[in-house]
Protein backbone atom coordinates (compact mmCIF):
# COMPACT_ATOMS: atom_id res chain seq x y z
CA UNK A 1 0.00 0.00 0.00
CA UNK A 2 1.45 3.38 -1.08
CA UNK A 3 1.43 5.99 1.67
CA UNK A 4 1.08 9.50 0.17
CA UNK A 5 2.55 11.07 3.27
CA UNK A 6 5.90 9.77 2.10
CA UNK A 7 5.90 12.50 -0.54
CA UNK A 8 5.33 15.41 1.83
CA UNK A 9 8.47 17.37 2.62
CA UNK A 10 9.65 16.75 6.09
CA UNK A 11 9.91 20.47 6.80
CA UNK A 12 8.74 23.38 4.65
CA UNK A 13 11.49 26.01 4.42
CA UNK A 14 10.52 29.25 6.16
CA UNK A 15 11.34 31.61 3.22
CA UNK A 16 9.03 29.57 1.06
CA UNK A 17 6.14 30.04 3.49
CA UNK A 18 6.90 33.78 3.66
CA UNK A 19 6.92 34.16 -0.13
CA UNK A 20 3.74 32.12 -0.53
CA UNK A 21 1.93 34.20 2.12
CA UNK A 22 3.03 37.40 0.46
CA UNK A 23 1.75 36.21 -2.91
CA UNK A 24 -1.62 35.24 -1.47
CA UNK A 25 -2.10 38.54 0.34
CA UNK A 26 -0.71 40.45 -2.65
CA UNK A 27 -3.29 38.86 -4.95
CA UNK A 28 -6.01 40.61 -2.96
CA UNK A 29 -4.63 44.03 -3.78
CA UNK A 30 -6.02 44.24 -7.37
CA UNK A 31 -9.39 42.96 -6.14
CA UNK A 32 -9.47 45.60 -3.43
CA UNK A 33 -8.51 48.29 -5.96
CA UNK A 34 -11.24 47.24 -8.37
CA UNK A 35 -13.80 47.31 -5.56
CA UNK A 36 -12.54 50.71 -4.48
CA UNK A 37 -12.79 52.22 -7.97
CA UNK A 38 -16.30 50.94 -8.53
CA UNK A 39 -17.48 52.74 -5.39
CA UNK A 40 -15.82 56.15 -5.48
CA UNK A 41 -17.04 59.29 -7.30
CA UNK A 42 -15.40 59.89 -10.68
CA UNK A 43 -14.95 63.22 -12.38
CA UNK A 44 -14.00 61.65 -15.70
CA UNK A 45 -15.94 58.98 -17.55
CA UNK A 46 -15.20 55.40 -16.67
CA UNK A 47 -13.18 53.21 -18.93
CA UNK A 48 -15.61 52.22 -21.62
CA UNK A 49 -14.35 49.35 -23.76
CA UNK A 50 -17.39 49.13 -26.02
CA UNK A 51 -18.66 52.60 -26.90
CA UNK A 52 -22.00 51.60 -28.44
CA UNK A 53 -22.52 55.28 -29.31
CA UNK A 54 -22.95 56.05 -25.59
CA UNK A 55 -20.45 58.86 -25.86
CA UNK A 56 -20.53 61.11 -28.87
CA UNK A 57 -20.01 64.78 -29.51
CA UNK A 58 -23.19 66.78 -28.99
CA UNK A 59 -24.35 70.22 -27.95
CA UNK A 60 -26.42 70.37 -24.81
CA UNK A 61 -29.24 72.76 -23.89
CA UNK A 62 -28.04 76.34 -23.38
CA UNK A 63 -24.50 75.43 -24.43
CA UNK A 64 -22.31 77.62 -26.61
CA UNK A 65 -21.36 76.61 -30.10
CA UNK A 66 -18.85 78.13 -32.46
CA UNK A 67 -20.76 76.63 -35.39
CA UNK A 68 -23.41 79.34 -35.45
CA UNK A 69 -22.96 83.08 -35.88
CA UNK A 70 -24.72 83.98 -32.65
CA UNK A 71 -22.61 81.50 -30.69
CA UNK A 72 -25.61 79.63 -29.33
CA UNK A 73 -26.12 75.89 -29.66
CA UNK A 74 -29.92 76.20 -29.35
CA UNK A 75 -31.61 77.29 -32.55
CA UNK A 76 -34.88 79.13 -32.93
CA UNK A 77 -37.65 77.06 -34.54
CA UNK A 78 -37.98 77.53 -38.27
CA UNK A 79 -40.45 80.31 -39.00
CA UNK A 80 -43.98 78.98 -39.19
CA UNK A 81 -43.27 76.00 -36.92
CA UNK A 82 -46.34 75.04 -34.89
CA UNK A 83 -46.08 73.12 -31.63
CA UNK A 84 -48.11 69.97 -31.30
CA UNK A 85 -51.66 70.71 -30.24
CA UNK A 86 -51.43 74.37 -31.29
CA UNK A 87 -52.26 73.94 -34.95
CA UNK A 88 -55.83 75.17 -34.78
CA UNK A 89 -55.08 78.30 -32.80
CA UNK A 90 -52.26 79.26 -35.14
CA UNK A 91 -53.88 78.62 -38.49
CA UNK A 92 -57.62 78.74 -38.13
CA UNK A 93 -59.35 76.19 -35.97
CA UNK A 94 -62.18 75.37 -38.34
CA UNK A 95 -59.88 74.63 -41.24
CA UNK A 96 -57.83 72.12 -39.29
CA UNK A 97 -60.35 70.55 -36.93
CA UNK A 98 -63.79 71.18 -38.39
CA UNK A 99 -64.68 72.72 -35.02
CA UNK A 100 -65.94 76.23 -34.41
CA UNK A 101 -63.31 77.19 -31.84
CA UNK A 102 -61.21 74.19 -30.92
CA UNK A 103 -61.59 74.72 -27.19
CA UNK A 104 -63.87 73.20 -24.60
CA UNK A 105 -65.86 70.00 -24.53
CA UNK A 106 -69.08 71.46 -25.89
CA UNK A 107 -67.64 72.67 -29.11
CA UNK A 108 -69.69 72.36 -32.25
CA UNK A 109 -68.75 71.30 -35.76
CA UNK A 110 -68.98 73.99 -38.38
CA UNK A 111 -71.52 74.03 -41.16
CA UNK A 112 -70.46 75.34 -44.54
CA UNK A 113 -66.75 75.65 -45.27
CA UNK A 114 -63.89 77.36 -43.42
CA UNK A 115 -62.93 80.83 -44.48
CA UNK A 116 -60.55 81.04 -47.38
CA UNK A 117 -61.68 77.92 -49.19
CA UNK A 118 -63.25 78.58 -52.52
CA UNK A 119 -65.82 75.92 -53.31
CA UNK A 120 -65.86 75.96 -57.10
CA UNK A 121 -65.79 73.34 -59.84
CA UNK A 122 -62.03 72.82 -59.46
CA UNK A 123 -62.47 72.20 -55.75
CA UNK A 124 -65.23 69.69 -56.47
CA UNK A 125 -63.15 67.96 -59.15
CA UNK A 126 -60.35 67.65 -56.60
CA UNK A 127 -62.82 66.24 -54.10
CA UNK A 128 -64.06 63.73 -56.64
CA UNK A 129 -60.54 62.57 -57.40
CA UNK A 130 -59.70 62.19 -53.71
CA UNK A 131 -63.02 60.53 -52.86
CA UNK A 132 -62.50 58.02 -55.66
CA UNK A 133 -59.03 57.32 -54.30
CA UNK A 134 -59.64 57.11 -50.57
CA UNK A 135 -63.34 56.55 -49.96
CA UNK A 136 -64.60 54.67 -53.00
CA UNK A 137 -63.04 51.31 -52.03
CA UNK A 138 -65.50 51.07 -49.12
CA UNK A 139 -68.21 53.66 -49.67
CA UNK A 140 -68.58 53.12 -53.43
CA UNK A 141 -68.53 55.58 -56.32
CA UNK A 142 -71.95 56.95 -55.44
CA UNK A 143 -71.41 56.88 -51.67
CA UNK A 144 -73.95 54.10 -51.12
CA UNK A 145 -71.53 52.11 -49.01
CA UNK A 146 -71.19 49.50 -51.74
CA UNK A 147 -67.51 49.78 -52.69
CA UNK A 148 -65.47 46.73 -53.75
CA UNK A 149 -64.01 46.19 -50.27
CA UNK A 150 -67.49 46.16 -48.79
CA UNK A 151 -68.74 43.81 -51.52
CA UNK A 152 -65.88 41.41 -51.03
CA UNK A 153 -66.30 41.43 -47.25
CA UNK A 154 -70.01 40.71 -47.58
CA UNK A 155 -69.38 37.89 -50.05
CA UNK A 156 -67.06 36.29 -47.50
CA UNK A 157 -69.76 36.32 -44.84
CA UNK A 158 -70.99 32.74 -44.85
CA UNK A 159 -72.97 32.95 -41.65
CA UNK A 160 -70.56 30.45 -40.14
CA UNK A 161 -68.53 32.25 -37.45
CA UNK A 162 -65.74 29.64 -37.49
CA UNK A 163 -65.15 30.18 -41.23
CA UNK A 164 -64.45 33.86 -40.62
CA UNK A 165 -62.44 33.12 -37.45
CA UNK A 166 -65.02 34.91 -35.36
CA UNK A 167 -64.50 38.26 -37.08
CA UNK A 168 -67.39 40.21 -38.46
CA UNK A 169 -67.69 43.04 -40.99
CA UNK A 170 -69.20 46.40 -40.22
CA UNK A 171 -70.69 47.61 -43.49
CA UNK A 172 -69.38 50.94 -44.73
CA UNK A 173 -71.87 53.72 -44.06
CA UNK A 174 -74.25 54.72 -46.84
CA UNK A 175 -73.33 58.39 -47.12
CA UNK A 176 -76.30 59.25 -49.32
CA UNK A 177 -78.95 57.43 -47.29
CA UNK A 178 -82.19 59.27 -46.64
CA UNK A 179 -85.05 58.32 -44.37
CA UNK A 180 -88.42 60.09 -44.37
CA UNK A 181 -86.99 62.74 -46.66
CA UNK A 182 -84.03 63.48 -44.40
CA UNK A 183 -80.42 62.61 -45.15
CA UNK A 184 -78.69 60.61 -42.40
CA UNK A 185 -75.42 62.34 -43.19
CA UNK A 186 -76.90 65.57 -44.53
CA UNK A 187 -75.69 69.01 -43.50
CA UNK A 188 -78.57 69.43 -41.01
CA UNK A 189 -77.90 66.22 -39.10
CA UNK A 190 -74.23 65.82 -39.87
CA UNK A 191 -72.41 69.15 -40.38
CA UNK A 192 -69.48 69.49 -42.76
CA UNK A 193 -67.07 69.81 -39.85
CA UNK A 194 -68.15 66.40 -38.60
CA UNK A 195 -67.46 64.71 -41.93
CA UNK A 196 -64.08 66.45 -41.95
CA UNK A 197 -63.48 65.09 -38.47
CA UNK A 198 -64.38 61.52 -39.53
CA UNK A 199 -62.02 61.74 -42.52
CA UNK A 200 -59.27 63.04 -40.25
CA UNK A 201 -59.63 60.76 -37.24
CA UNK A 202 -61.92 57.96 -38.42
CA UNK A 203 -64.85 56.75 -36.38
CA UNK A 204 -65.71 53.42 -34.75
CA UNK A 205 -64.58 50.80 -37.27
CA UNK A 206 -63.38 53.29 -39.88
CA UNK A 207 -59.75 54.34 -39.72
CA UNK A 208 -58.68 57.99 -40.04
CA UNK A 209 -57.13 59.35 -43.23
CA UNK A 210 -55.70 62.58 -41.81
CA UNK A 211 -52.16 61.28 -42.30
CA UNK A 212 -52.74 60.59 -46.00
CA UNK A 213 -54.97 63.42 -47.21
CA UNK A 214 -53.91 67.08 -46.92
CA UNK A 215 -56.27 69.43 -45.08
CA UNK A 216 -57.69 71.24 -48.13
CA UNK A 217 -58.25 67.94 -49.93
CA UNK A 218 -60.25 66.67 -46.95
CA UNK A 219 -62.54 69.67 -47.29
CA UNK A 220 -62.76 69.02 -51.04
CA UNK A 221 -63.94 65.48 -50.22
CA UNK A 222 -66.57 66.94 -47.88
CA UNK A 223 -67.81 69.14 -50.73
CA UNK A 224 -67.90 66.12 -53.03
CA UNK A 225 -69.87 64.06 -50.50
CA UNK A 226 -72.45 66.89 -50.52
CA UNK A 227 -72.47 66.77 -54.32
CA UNK A 228 -73.05 63.02 -54.18
CA UNK A 229 -75.97 63.54 -51.83
CA UNK A 230 -77.44 66.08 -54.23
CA UNK A 231 -77.14 63.68 -57.14
CA UNK A 232 -78.21 60.51 -55.32
CA UNK A 233 -80.93 61.88 -53.05
CA UNK A 234 -81.81 65.26 -54.55
CA UNK A 235 -84.95 66.02 -52.57
CA UNK A 236 -83.55 65.16 -49.15
CA UNK A 237 -80.29 66.94 -49.93
CA UNK A 238 -82.02 70.12 -51.02
CA UNK A 239 -84.12 70.06 -47.85
CA UNK A 240 -81.01 69.58 -45.74
CA UNK A 241 -79.21 72.45 -47.46
CA UNK A 242 -82.17 74.74 -46.92
CA UNK A 243 -82.35 73.89 -43.22
CA UNK A 244 -81.16 76.71 -40.94
CA UNK A 245 -77.52 76.31 -40.00
CA UNK A 246 -78.35 76.72 -36.32
CA UNK A 247 -79.79 73.21 -36.33
CA UNK A 248 -76.33 71.85 -36.73
CA UNK A 249 -75.12 72.14 -33.16
CA UNK A 250 -73.97 68.62 -32.58
CA UNK A 251 -71.20 68.48 -30.06
CA UNK A 252 -67.79 67.22 -30.96
CA UNK A 253 -66.99 63.75 -29.74
CA UNK A 254 -63.70 62.52 -31.03
C1 LIG B 1 -61.62 50.71 -45.39
C2 LIG B 1 -63.01 51.07 -45.59
C3 LIG B 1 -63.35 52.56 -45.51
C4 LIG B 1 -62.78 53.62 -46.18
C5 LIG B 1 -61.63 53.60 -47.14
C6 LIG B 1 -63.53 54.79 -45.78
N7 LIG B 1 -64.53 54.45 -44.92
FE8 LIG B 1 -65.91 55.69 -44.13
N9 LIG B 1 -66.69 54.15 -43.08
C10 LIG B 1 -66.27 52.83 -43.16
C11 LIG B 1 -67.04 52.03 -42.23
C12 LIG B 1 -66.86 50.54 -42.01
C13 LIG B 1 -67.92 52.91 -41.57
C14 LIG B 1 -68.91 52.57 -40.46
C15 LIG B 1 -68.11 52.70 -39.18
C16 LIG B 1 -68.85 52.21 -37.96
O17 LIG B 1 -69.99 52.68 -37.75
O18 LIG B 1 -68.28 51.42 -37.23
C19 LIG B 1 -67.69 54.23 -42.14
C20 LIG B 1 -68.38 55.37 -41.77
C21 LIG B 1 -68.23 56.60 -42.36
C22 LIG B 1 -69.03 57.78 -42.04
C23 LIG B 1 -70.15 57.84 -41.04
C24 LIG B 1 -69.62 57.94 -39.64
C25 LIG B 1 -70.76 57.96 -38.64
O26 LIG B 1 -70.77 58.88 -37.82
O27 LIG B 1 -71.61 57.08 -38.67
C28 LIG B 1 -68.59 58.78 -42.85
C29 LIG B 1 -69.11 60.20 -42.87
C30 LIG B 1 -67.51 58.24 -43.65
N31 LIG B 1 -67.33 56.92 -43.34
C32 LIG B 1 -66.83 58.97 -44.60
C33 LIG B 1 -65.73 58.48 -45.30
C34 LIG B 1 -64.96 59.26 -46.23
C35 LIG B 1 -65.26 60.69 -46.63
C36 LIG B 1 -63.94 58.46 -46.66
C37 LIG B 1 -62.81 58.82 -47.60
C38 LIG B 1 -61.88 59.77 -47.08
C39 LIG B 1 -64.09 57.16 -46.02
N40 LIG B 1 -65.19 57.22 -45.21
C41 LIG B 1 -63.26 56.08 -46.24
C42 LIG B 1 -65.30 52.33 -43.96
C43 LIG B 1 -64.46 53.09 -44.74
User: Backbone phi, then psi, for 228, in 5-degree steps?
Assistant: -60, -40
Residue ID of nearest Cα to ligand 1 atom 37: 135
Count of CB atoms within 10 A of residue 227's CB?
A: 17
Give, for ligand 1, the residue of 171, 191, 198, 206 to mutate: max count of ligand atoms closer than 8 Å to Cβ: 206
Q: What distance in Å separates the CA atoms of residue 24 and residue 35, rounded to the nearest whole number?
A: 18
Write out residues with Cβ below 6 Å of ligand 1: 134-135, 137-139, 149, 170, 172-173, 175, 185, 195, 198-199, 203-206, 209, 221, 225
> Can you tell me which atom of ligand 1 is nearest the CA of 225?
35
Torsion (CA) 242, 245, 247, 250 in degrees, nearest 10:
130
pLDDT tens, residue by residue, 44-57:
877 788 888 888 88
In a mutational test of the pocket of ligand 1, which residue from 98, 109, 139 has the highest number of ligand atoms less than 8 Å from its CB? 139
Closest listed residue to residue 196, CA positions, set 226, 222, 177, 214? 222
Task: Tell how far the Cα of 247 is from the centroid of ligand 1, in angstroms.
Answer: 23
Enumerate residue ranges in the chain where pLDDT < 70. Answer: 87-91, 102-106, 159, 161, 163-167, 240-254
The Cβ-side half-sphere exposure at 55, using a 13 Å CA radius, reads 8
- Cβ-based neighbours of 187, under 8 Å, separated by 6 or more: 111, 226, 240, 241, 243, 248
Distances (CA, A) of 226 to 103, 122, 150, 208: 27, 15, 21, 19
| Contact status, residue 110 vs residue 98, Cβ threshold 8 Å | yes
Q: Give the pLDDT of residue 242.
A: 67
What's residue 29's pLDDT? 96
Which atom of ligand 1 lies closest to the CA of 209?
Answer: 38
In this prediction, residue 219 carries a pLDDT of 97
pLDDT at 56: 84
Amino acid sequence: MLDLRLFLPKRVPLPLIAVASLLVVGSWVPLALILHYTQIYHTSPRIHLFQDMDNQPKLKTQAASPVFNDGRAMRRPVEGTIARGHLGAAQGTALHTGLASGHGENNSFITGFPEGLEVDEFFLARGQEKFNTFCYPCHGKGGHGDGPVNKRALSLQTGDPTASYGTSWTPSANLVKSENGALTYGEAAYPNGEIFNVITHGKNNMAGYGHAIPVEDRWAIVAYVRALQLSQAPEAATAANDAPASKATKTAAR
